[in-house]
Amino acid sequence: MPELPVPEPKALPFAARAAGCPFTPAPELYEMQHDDELRRVKVPSPILGEFEAVALTRYEDAKSVLGDERLQMGYVFDPEAPRTMLNQPGNLLNYNGAEHTRLRRMLTGAFTVKRVRALRPKIEQIVTGRLDALEEAGPGSDLVQLFGTPIPTLVICELLGVPYADREDFQRRARVGLDVNTTREAQIQNLAEMDDYMGALIASHRQSPGDNLLGSVVRDFGDQLTDDELVGIGNMLLVAGHETTASMLSAGTALLLQHPDQLAVVRDDPSATDGAVEELLRYCAPAITMPREAAADMYVRGQKIEQGERVVVSVLAANRDLGVAEGDLDSLDVRRPPLPHVTFGYGAHQCLGQQLARMELRTALPALFNRFPTLQLAVPQAEVSYRTTALVFGVNELPVTW
């Protein structure tokens, strides 16, 4: 019996990248950006099946709708539906309005600028340890496995009180949960495994709250939260806390290795670090914003979006919108005065951990290039494998030498 062909993975139409140029938006995104009429696109989803949504690609449109309370999260928790990562109590992405505010307020204290600055010595220690591991492994090693992924994983494990020894299992579950090419059944099974794992941690904290973020949430708000909500909070923080920053560290390194002059600035000029990180975040735009749904009729540039219509925002295209600033925004310039971007989203659902992500990037990237000033790819650039069909863009493997 002949083998059935394996279907090509589907890329999200609002996060599509140019063939052979993974850091560049697909041509159709630029076409939509310059089109006066709002377009509807077909979006693949293992949870909802394929659905139609209004696609927004301009920066000002993105800010306008993401800050509008009429445009709500499109995945609202439904207790009657099977549990998935996008249908779970406690996950901030499943809430709007007062309930979202209630849950978010319980977590914001752990991610203030002051709290994140206090973590810097620990982050520096973790970065040094991973640089030692990379040096010990020697030229030809995979920077994704030895540096990009372990740093945010170790940081979030430290922050949440999750054993680092469990990383392979929860990283695998995160990859499944962020894969738009899986099945609904696979997503249901995946969350069941995540819930079993996190449920055991929450039960332990209920008995004796640990000296970490999960422990403090149980200690301070445990009487206001169900176990299901605590499990959802833990799952959300564990996945979001390592996956996007890990992708950004590896993708940012891959991008800078393509631009040695820009890399030299990051390596040699500490005063440029903060601006360089903002430029890399703008340019790479690793994560998508989740689909929204219009809770009432609304208008964008005079065009109606009807109540119940879904809306998707292209972070990748919005960050390259020429209407934002003068100059060529398709070129990487780490000395460019920091430009506004929507890499962390905008409005009520803006990324909770963005300051932590910035701190990790500001610490790790200059340290990497200073420890290995001659760092370069160990394979031809065309052989680097990128992840372009998941909810988070990244690099699969990045062999390096020095």
3 part of a folded domain:
no
Q: What is the pLDDT of residue 316?
A: 97
143 part of a folded domain:
yes
8 part of a folded domain:
no
Amino acid letter for position 174: A
DSSP bridge pairs for 133? none
Q: What is the pLDDT of residue 17?
A: 96
Q: How many residues does the chain have?
A: 402
Q: pTM of the full predicted structure?
A: 0.92
137 part of a folded domain:
yes
- Based on the structure, what is the number of domains in the chain? 1
2 part of a folded domain:
no
Q: What is the pLDDT of residue 384?
A: 96
SS3 state at 309: coil
Q: What is the pLDDT of residue 7?
A: 56
Expressed as residue numbers, the domain containing 233 is: 17-401
CA-to-CA dists, residue 275 to 265, 270, 301, 335, angstroms = 11, 10, 32, 7
Q: What is the pLDDT of residue 123?
A: 95
400: nearest Cα among 211, 14, 138, 131:
138
234: nearest Cα among 194, 270, 204, 271:
194
The domain spanning residue 240 has which CATH number?
1.10.630.10
DSSP bridge pairs for 400? 377
- Separation between Cα atoms, residue 315 and residue 65, nearest integer Å: 13
- Separation between Cα atoms, residue 380 and residue 359, nearest integer Å: 31
276 half-sphere exposure, CB direction, 13 A CA radius: 26
- Separation between Cα atoms, residue 190 and residue 173, nearest integer Å: 6
Print the SS3 string covering 56-67.
ECCHHHHHHHHC
6 part of a folded domain:
no
Structural element, H or E, at residue 100: helix 97-108
Q: What is the pLDDT of residue 6?
A: 47
Q: What is the pLDDT of residue 157?
A: 87
11 part of a folded domain:
no
Look up tokens 């993105």; give the residue. 62
pLDDT in tens, 119-131: 999 999 999 999 9
103 part of a folded domain:
yes
Q: What is the pLDDT of residue 324?
A: 64
Q: What is the pLDDT of residue 282?
A: 97
In the chain, which stretches have pLDDT less than 50?
Answer: 1-2, 4, 6
CB 375 within 8 A of CB 264: no
